Amino acid sequence: MTFALVLGYALGVRGAVLFETLWSNVLDVSTDELIYLAMDAKRAGFLDLKVSGGIVEVSLSRLLTEEERRLIHGTD
């Protein structure tokens, strides 16, 4: 799940839509199950995840280096 989120994030997808990308769909489970898997990844320390009232926030700052984040966001 974490790798699927990283791939979507690298292409600019954010929020709940991360659980609807091609890479998330390859896992062939429901969106709810994907969120549960992402919660497991959070407990393992791979990412930060907040889910509240249909709003989903995923942060990969634990997993990506500053250089990788800079490349993804396209700043200088």
> Quick one: pLDDT at residue 36?
94
* pLDDT per residue as tens digits for the range 5-21: 999 998 989 999 999 99
* pLDDT per residue as tens digits for the range 26-50: 999 999 999 999 999 999 999 999 9
Q: Quote the number of domains for the chain.
A: 1
Report, in this order, helix, strand and coil percent for the chain, each rounded to 5.
Answer: 55, 15, 35
Q: Which H or E element spans position 55?
A: strand 55-59
Q: Which domain holds residue 31?
A: 2-73
- Say which CATH number the domain at 19 has: 1.10.10
Query: What's the pTM value of the predicted model, to 2 decimals?
Result: 0.83
DSSP labels for 29-52?
S-HHHHHHHHHHHHHTTS-EEEEE
The rounded distance, in Å, linking the Cα atoms of 29 and 67 is 32
